[in-house]
A and B are shown apart, each in its own frame.
Chain A
Amino acid sequence: KAGVTQTPRYLIKTRGQQVTLSCSPISGHRSVSWYQQTPGQGLQFLFEYFSETQRNKGNFPGRFSGRQFSNSRSEMNVSTLELGDSALYLCASSIGRAQETQYFGPGTRLLVL
């Protein structure tokens, strides 16, 4: 089975711009979670989608949003980018039940200048 894929892998943006990241889960997986990883804060949960509905949300401002499509692919959007949004954004997929193992994609490295 192919793993989790994320596009793009690298992105450079300037402050104030917006960005959309994409994640395709493992075939058959219906849950997609997003995480932000920075050297200072480590790995932090952004949100989880299951069956096109947000099932869980972390403590991030409303500038961070996401959605999931009927084929389980997910996108996350960050509007009005700030320098502190520079991070590795990771997507993880699981079959769909709670408390499950999750498998991470390669990540999108975002640099905000």
Chain B
Amino acid sequence: QKEVEQNSGPLSVPEGAIASLNCTYSDRGSQSFFWYRQYSGKSPELIMFIYSNGDKEDGRFTAQLNKASQYVSLLIRDSQPSDSATYLCAVIRAGGGNKLTFGTGTQLKVEL
């Protein structure tokens, strides 16, 4: 079982729709959770981080964390073609310093 799992996609959504990206993790000691966006040929760009159970909103993005279910998600409202990218979920375990463990990423395609 991988430490961080994501569906590879592609996830296709029409422009203006809500895109829902999901991530599960295996280590209950995971404490910090991050979403990065990576365009093809570019480096990962931080979108959001979340530490506590519940929802965290930033503009069109909402991160949701459920530690009991070991599940973290990212919602993108009013999806735009420019949101088309690979979305990487990453976690840091307790005592892990700043070691990010990444999922393999979900490719999102926003269609006109």
Q: Tell whether A and B belong to one assembly.
A: yes
Which A residues are closer than 8 A to B by beta carbons?
31, 33, 35, 42-45, 48, 50, 55-56, 58, 88, 90, 92, 94, 98-107
User: Contact: A42 with B102, CB < 8 Å?
Assistant: yes
Q: Which residue of B lies closest to A109 (CB)?
A: B41
| Residue count of chain B within 8 Å CB distance of chain A | 24
Assess whether B100 is interfacial by the CB under 8 Å rule: yes
User: Contact: B101 with A45, CB < 8 Å?
Assistant: yes
**B23 CB, nearest partner CB in chain A, Å:** 13
Residues of chain B lying within 8 A (CB to CB) of residue A35: 100
Q: How distant is the Cα of A52 from the Cα of B44 in the complex, in angstroms?
A: 25
User: Contact: A56 with B98, CB < 8 Å?
Assistant: yes
User: Contact: B92 with A99, CB < 8 Å?
Assistant: yes
User: Contact: B99 with A45, CB < 8 Å?
Assistant: yes
Q: How distant is the Cα of A31 from the Cα of B104 in the complex, in angstroms?
A: 24
